[in-house]
Chains A and B, each alone.
Chain A
Amino acid sequence: GAVVSQHPSRVICKSGTSVKIECRSLDFQATTMFWYRQFPKKSLMLMATSNEGSKATYEQGVEKDKFLINHASLTLSTLTVTSAHPEDSSFYICSARVPPDTQYFGPGTRLTVL
């Protein structure tokens, strides 16, 4: 199956700082990637859809100025959490679409904001 990596796997930062999370498709090219957030014992919540070379599409209620998404190449999408606060602490997971429809997920990034 298709392999998706994320870096870092864990990050701890101070309130007010920005954090960048990378999502890479290792053995395929992904024109579309997705970013999800998952709270403890809850399911995945889609934050945004990232298309290579164009602006991301954000879900309702997700602040696009806080969660910056860049999909500059066919194998890399990044999520930057700007001016992070404790309420941004969560498990962030990316996925990449393999045509026609299947999404393959990365291992996730645990963000803790102190």
Chain B
Amino acid sequence: EDQVTQSPEALRLQEGESSSLNCSYTVSGLRGLFWYRQDPGKGPEFLFTLYSAGEEKEKERLKATLTKKESFLHITAPKPEDSATYLCAVQAGSGSRLTFGEGTQLTVNP
């Protein structure tokens, strides 16, 4: 059974204080790892897809990396508007379904 574990559950940062979120996974035949951002009361917003170990993607203050066992979402010099829950999901095997982690709730204080 595919498993995705995100840590920490919650993270509080000061504006400008860089940090990383972790997503560990156990799957048979990883096809893709996805990062989403979710604001309260809204649907997840797509951020990145990573397909193979060593791959990196960047968007503004966010950078996602992938190894054979985990992915990191690095946040550089975060701003209060980066506050949200960040979800990691994996896709494995031949199907399209995603298996989500429980998310990391990020709060960035001004």
Question: CA separation between A102 and B46, bound complex, in Å?
Answer: 8
Q: Would you give the shortest CB distance from A33 to chain B, in whole angstroms?
A: 10
Q: Is B45 in the interface zone, CB < 8 Å from A?
A: yes
Q: Is A54 in the interface zone, CB < 8 Å from B?
A: no
Q: Is B69 in the interface zone, CB < 8 Å from A?
A: no
Known: A43-B103, A44-B87, A101-B91. A107 touches B43 (CB 8 A): yes
Q: Would you give the shortest CB distance from A24 to chain B, in whole angstroms?
A: 13
Instruction: List residues of chain B with CB within 8 A of the CB of A110.
Output: 41
Q: Would you give the shortest CB distance from A38 to chain B, in whole angstroms?
A: 9
Number of interface residues of A (CB under 8 A): 23
Q: Is A61 in the interface zone, CB < 8 Å from B?
A: no
Q: Would you give the shortest CB distance from A61 to chain B, in whole angstroms?
A: 14
B: interface residue count bin: 20 to 34
| CB-based A-B contact count at 8 angstroms | 53
Question: CA separation between A77 and B3, bound complex, in Å?
Answer: 28
SS class, residues of chain A in contact with chain B: strand
Contacting B at CB under 8 A, from A26-64, are: 32, 34, 42-44, 46, 49
Question: CA separation between A38 and B46, bound complex, in Å?
Answer: 17
Q: Would you give the shortest CB distance from B52 to chain A, in whole angstroms?
A: 13
Question: CA separation between A38 and B87, bound complex, in Å?
Answer: 13
Q: Is B53 in the interface zone, CB < 8 Å from A?
A: no
Could you show 17 A-B contacts with beta carbons less than 8 Å apart? A4-B43, A34-B98, A43-B100, A43-B102, A43-B103, A44-B87, A46-B97, A46-B98, A49-B97, A93-B43, A95-B43, A101-B34, A101-B49, A102-B46, A103-B98, A106-B43, A108-B43
Which residue numbers of B lie inside 8 Å of A, CB to CB?
31-32, 34, 36, 41-46, 49, 87, 91, 95-98, 100-103
Which residue numbers of A lie inside 8 Å of B, CB to CB?
1, 4, 6, 32, 34, 42-44, 46, 49, 91, 93, 95, 97, 101-108, 110
